[in-house]
Structure 1
Amino acid sequence: MEELRWHLVRSAFAIIALAVVGFIYTKEILDYVVFGPTRPNFPSYRWLCSLGNALGMGDKLCMEPVKFKFLNTQMAGMVMLQFKVAIIVGVVGALPYVFWEFWQFVKPALKERELKGSRGIILWVSMQFFIGVLFSYFLVAPFTVNFPASYNVSDQIDNQFLFDDYFGLMSQIVFGMGVLFELPILVYFLAKVGILGPTFLRTYRRHAIVVLLVLAAVITPPDVLDQLLVFIPLYMLYEISILISARVYRKRQAEEKEEEWS
């Protein structure tokens, strides 16, 4: 317990240190990162437009973000927003180090064979998380922002948004996708210890599709395109997880047969 406490303390210090950086540079993070999808020069809009021109579709894929300003209706709204930015920057930025601390705590309890199969785990976990974050930020977020901003059922109604709602939506999508992209890593370890196998994943594929659709609906607005943008990569990750578990299962069976013969 004493060792676990120090791992947690060091992880907390790493998060706090990066949170301080996020607190100091809140304005730059908001203007250039968080509110990036609301700007016409956001890279995704340029890439989509260039792709449309390259495919001979003209300007059909060109998308101009809806122009709007955010409202603050609370006295302490700006202060709370700055703390939220700081916390998210701290958690996301310190994730590789936090996992390293967790791994150092778990590592002594693993067998030599398990350690051999987990080489580079910190790199893979961190890479999967940040791939999910970048995917959601550059591909999902632009559509997620523009759909509710441009949706209007009457010309007599103006869309005005609270910045807290926008920030919460962005955080939910980006962080949620980062966590969901860890699915292959989780399946690998469950298959490694014999808890999860390819047969189980194939048998419950249809159930998994329903769960993934629900997750896509939870972390995105009620827009079919946004939900498909989230569901498709998650389903691909599920199929990749089946391949990973099958490979681990075959390898574990071969090792067990070698042990029996020896």
Structure 2
Amino acid sequence: MKKEKQIEDVEMNLTDHLTELRKRIIWTLVSFVAFFITGFIFIKDIYQFFVRDLAFDLHVTSPGEIIWIYFTMASIVALIGTLPILSLQIWLFVKPALTPKETKVSLSYIPAIFLLFLAGLTFGYVIFIQLILPFLLSLNDGMFNEIFTVDRYFKFLFRVTIPFAILFEIPIITMFLTSLGVINPVMLVKIRKYAYFVLIIIGTMISPPDFILQLVVAVPLIFLYEVSIILSRVVYRKKLKHHREFMEQDFEDDEYGS
């Protein structure tokens, strides 16, 4: 009878978790759709923002490109707008399993995730407009007639900016994994040279084949990794301090109990 009761409790607990997970997913999807519709409504303003600094006109070669730019722009808006909502829903889902202190600390990650993503997008866009695009155009030197299509231009733009937005999340991811005990600052220092190598490769893939531009792209990524190590040390020290205090308290309780 007791065993059946335990099985029933486990099944109810699993059902509650699945219900809660479905609720969080629904909220996230509703937010994505809402931001997607918003992006679709203001697509002309968004498009004008991206082309206002261009010294050339963009062309379309098929009606499909017009539909593509509408859906792509609206999707980018929806992705940016939904990111903090998604982070909040994940936090609400795991909140019951967190201590009050962990709840407070993890909640601060949500605005940081959003702001770092925006910072990465902005940095990538500035690098693209100010350095990468002028460099590539300078290679023409009057040899070719330039015809830029909407499809090719924005695919190239997103290829540069989106990776930066993701890579700018490295410090937050590092702090989170350190708090979980998955990584620690000693490990990050140990694999530093391999991390540099990977980041330089990513910088090479994002930027044109020019040493100066590749250096401009790679240096901020390496800087982000160094910041991640510093933040990991901060989190790790706090974690060790909390563990020591817990052990001391536990020892005192045992002493008084005996």
Which stretch of structure 1 is more off in the superposition, 159-168 or 202-211? 159-168
Answering whether residue 27 of structure 2 is matched by residue 5 of structure 1, we say: no
Match of 1:35 among 51, 54, 63: 51
Answering whether residue 32 of structure 2 is matched by residue 15 of structure 1, we say: yes
CA distance in 2, matches of 1:24, 1:119: 32
Kindly tell me: are residues 222 and 164 of structure 1, through their superposed partners in 2, closer, same or farther at Cα, counting changes over 3 Å? farther
Answering whether residue 76 of structure 2 is matched by residue 88 of structure 1, we say: yes
Instruction: Say if 1:37 and 1:145, in contact at 8 Å, map to a contact too.
Output: no
Q: What SS does structure 2 have at the residue aligned with 1:159?
A: coil
Instruction: Say if 1:180 and 1:234, in contact at 8 Å, map to a contact too.
Output: yes
Instruction: Say if 1:143 and 1:226, in contact at 8 Å, map to a contact too.
Output: yes
CA distance in 2, matches of 1:138, 1:17: 28
CA distance in 2, matches of 1:24, 1:112: 41
Aligned to 2:108: 120
Cα-Cα RMSD: 2.0
Q: CA deviation at 1:80?
A: 1.6
Kindly tell me: are residues 140 and 157 of structure 1, through their superposed partners in 2, closer, same or farther at Cα, counting changes over 3 Å? closer
Match of 2:42 among 12, 20, 25: 25
Kindly tell me: are residues 14 and 201 of structure 1, through their superposed partners in 2, closer, same or farther at Cα, counting changes over 3 Å? same
Q: How is 1:102-181 mapped onto 2 (pairs within 5 angstroms)?
A: 102-152=90-140, 155-181=142-168
Aligned to 2:252: none
CA distance in 2, matches of 1:230, 1:15: 31
Instruction: Say if 1:191 and 1:197, in contact at 8 Å, map to a contact too.
Output: yes
Aligned to 1:214: 201
The structure that has the greater radius of gyration is 2
Aligned to 1:54: none
CA distance in 1, matches of 2:173, 2:39: 29
Which stretch of structure 1 is more off in the superposition, 249-258 or 220-229? 220-229
Identity within the alignment, %: 32
Q: CA deviation at 1:119?
A: 4.0
Aligned to 1:79: 67
Kindly tell me: are residues 221 and 104 of structure 1, through their superposed partners in 2, closer, same or farther at Cα, counting changes over 3 Å? farther
Q: RCO greater where, 1 or 2, for CA within 8 Å and sep 6 or more? A: 1
Answering whether residue 176 of structure 2 is matched by residue 189 of structure 1, we say: yes
Instruction: Say if 1:140 and 1:230, in contact at 8 Å, map to a contact too.
Output: no
TM-score w.r.t. the length of structure 2 is 0.82
More helix by share: 2
Q: Which amino acid counterpart does residue 235 of structure 1 have in structure 2?
A: I
CA distance in 1, matches of 2:127, 2:218: 13
How many residues are paired up?
Answer: 232
Structure 2: give runs of 5+ residues left out of the alignment.
Answer: 1-17, 250-258
Instruction: Say if 1:209 and 1:235, in contact at 8 Å, map to a contact too.
Output: yes
TM-score w.r.t. the length of structure 1 is 0.81
Instruction: Say if 1:140 and 1:226, in contact at 8 Å, map to a contact too.
Output: no
CA distance in 1, matches of 2:139, 2:73: 27
CA distance in 1, matches of 2:100, 2:38: 39
Structure 1: give runs of 5+ residues left out of the alignment.
Answer: 39-66
